[in-house]
Chains A and B, each alone.
Chain A
Amino acid sequence: MTRSKSRREVLLGAAALAGAASLPRVASAQAKGRIVVGTWGGDYARLLNKNIEAPLLIKDGWEVVQDQAGDPERRSKILAEMRLPRGTTDVQGLSAINMFQMHDAGSVLPIDYGKLKNAGNLLPAMKYPYGVGHIYSGKVGVYNPKLITTAPVSYKDVFDPKQGNKVGIIDIQYQYTLVCAALAAGGKVDDLEPGKKLLLECKKAGMRIYPTNEAFAQGLKSEEFGLGVMWKARVVQWQNAGISVMPVTPTEGALAYVSGFVIPKNSPNKEGAYAYLDAMLDKSAQEAFAVDMGYNPTVSNAVVAPDLNKRIGFSPDEIKKLVDLDYNYLNKNDVALKEWWDKELKG
């Protein structure tokens, strides 16, 4: 009897202690509210948690929830929720062209840079009126030195019909591939007709089309082909995975790839959204993303080790020559371009 009572007391005491210990943590986790982050899954989501959310937000009392999905699904969600007074996400991670698309549809807030204490360090090119650049890389030529003995120096060298079936492209990257081919053929970012013609010639010569980035990497690895275009950051990841591949910054200027975040107009927690954007621009988070993912920081105060910078970065001259997409042109012509891609190039 005494033993039983004593055990109960001990258990009650332990429960009270545990409850008391957890109370401040719960209070702290809810003190600043919840931030819902729309993001791609996989490594990017994991690294957002590791480099931004855990060390800079959750620690300070924010609760962060990730809403993981591909960007088409999340864009559809933003648009579908547009008419609602209260949306379901506070920030959404999108590529620069998709940030523009959401802005063009009137679904995102203009960014008030005065609310971001790290905004002063943000590179001017990454300050979009409707979104904030998080990481960037460039679309470079890639080649397998085992198969391609003369290294390409330009997009023109990559999209050369003489290379026959040694050239590979990625289906889901139709917009960037079209622009790269246009630049190779003397076109511009808003004049893709020469690029279409060149791609059809390459197709006739045996160019291979891979459905995804992963399938493209697999093709490179198995030496089905040896030439293509890809983000420099991805090349670094592939090299780390043991694939024989080298990057070449094209003489036409590499197409810039920017991934950033927007705030949906009906974000339930706008204060939290700004806190997230600010944490994302923190020096430590930016440096960690360069190390973990191979993308370049978008803030000037981030320090990237020289050897890493050599692999992922661009020289000042190359940075000057970075080419941005014409978002408005691509957004307006996206349906027609995709139809051409599916019917003429793939058909």
Chain B
Amino acid sequence: MAAAAQTHFQSDERPTSLLSATTLVGPATVFVAAGLLVPLAILFRYSFDKVDARRIMIETFSFDNYVKFFSDPYYTGVLATTLRVAALCTVVCLAMGLPLAYVLARTQSRFKNVLIMLVVLPLFVGNAVRAAGWMTLFGSKGFLNVTLMQLGIITQPLQIMFTEGAVIAGIIAVNLPYMVLTLQSVIEGINRNVEEAAFSLGAGPATMFRRVLLPLSLPGILAGTILTFILGMNAYATPVLLGGPKFKMMGPLVYGQFQLNNWPFGASVAFILMTATLTLTATANILIQRRFRR
């Protein structure tokens, strides 16, 4: 009877599950294909066209836009700045986010949900609005400068606005919640007994972290790092508002080219940014996984 039921179940299972899988995956796939892949393919084609003042673009197939980017130190400098800022922000977010995520994951406090809400709270405010807040803090007559001057620590206002430091601070503030939330959810899934076992076998906190917690939370670290790095590479509002006109990152550069109606070059810069982000993310992923597999 049981065997018959099983056979009956097996014979019914495959078509139903296939149908369910298609039903579940289908809409999202169609949406992504139509809304992302098709425009991306069109944009990729544009990147080989030539700009024209009258017709915007002349259809051709040339690598000129890519050659222009990589042969001009100005543009490669913008890419280098973007990589530097994104990498630095990711490292700082990880260093600051890991302890915070650990505390959030392990706390038994009844205010745990409130603490998590406090981490999420900055995400309730748009990037541009948040950057505007930083502007009032960093301006020459902003809170920071006025306070330092009134305390007699400085006599002339510090130039904080329109510097790389201001951009890094701004991006970290935007990205930190993503890192903390990703890490917290993974650390929460690690059994506390594993840590206790390490301690009972004589490991100190540093050894326990290095030998137990770090390898086990690696999926979270990777996910958080990738997320933060991608957000840093593609930052737009923060570099524009806090970096000022002289500071350039790839996101504002792409926008600037479309603003100039230079669609082909804008498209090629967009693809260079996307390729750099994907390559670095994939490479880091592979290297870290190999390192810890050993």
- Interface residues, chain A, CB within 8 Å of chain B? 72, 75-76, 79, 101, 104-106, 171, 209-211, 215, 218, 222, 224, 331-332, 334-335, 338, 342-343, 346-347
Contact of B56 with A79 in the complex, beta carbons under 8 Å = yes
Contact of A75 with B261 in the complex, beta carbons under 8 Å = yes
Asked if B110 is an interface residue, CB under 8 A from chain A, the answer is no
Contact of A347 with B74 in the complex, beta carbons under 8 Å = yes
Contacts of B140 in A (CB 8 A): 222, 224
What is the CB-to-nearest-CB distance from A81 to chain B, in angstroms, rounded to a whole number? 13
- Interface residues, chain B, CB within 8 Å of chain A? 51, 53-56, 74, 139-141, 240-241, 244-246, 248, 256, 258-262
What is the CB-to-nearest-CB distance from B74 to chain A, in angstroms, rounded to a whole number? 5
Given A211-B240, A342-B248, A347-B246, 18 other A-B residues pairs in contact with their CB atoms under 8 A: A72-B258, A75-B261, A79-B56, A104-B54, A105-B54, A209-B245, A222-B139, A222-B140, A224-B140, A331-B53, A334-B53, A334-B261, A335-B51, A335-B260, A335-B262, A338-B256, A342-B256, A346-B245
Partner of B246, one of A106, A215, A334, A346: A346
Bound-complex Cα distance A24 to B261 (A): 46
Bound-complex Cα distance A215 to B136 (A): 12
Identify whether the interface residues of B are mostly helix, strand, loop, or mixed.
loop
What is the CB-to-nearest-CB distance from B67 to chain A, in angstroms, rounded to a whole number? 15
Partner of B245, one of A76, A105, A210, A218: A210
Given A79-B261, A209-B245, also A342-B55 (CB < 8 A): no
What is the CB-to-nearest-CB distance from B266 to chain A, in angstroms, rounded to a whole number? 10
Contacts of B56 in A (CB 8 A): 79, 105
Contact of A334 with B260 in the complex, beta carbons under 8 Å = yes
Bound-complex Cα distance A105 to B240 (A): 29
Contacts of B261 in A (CB 8 A): 75-76, 79, 101, 334
Contacts of A222 in B (CB 8 A): 139-141
Contact of A105 with B260 in the complex, beta carbons under 8 Å = no
Contact of A342 with B53 in the complex, beta carbons under 8 Å = no
Bound-complex Cα distance A346 to B140 (A): 21
Contact of A343 with B74 in the complex, beta carbons under 8 Å = yes
Q: Which of B51, B139, B141, B244 is the most central at the interface, judged by chain A CB atoms within 10 Å of its CB?
A: B244
Bound-complex Cα distance A75 to B55 (A): 13
Contacts of B246 in A (CB 8 A): 209, 346-347
Contacts of A104 in B (CB 8 A): 53-54
Residue of B nearest to A346 (CB): B246
What is the CB-to-nearest-CB distance from A144 to chain B, in angstroms, rounded to a whole number? 15
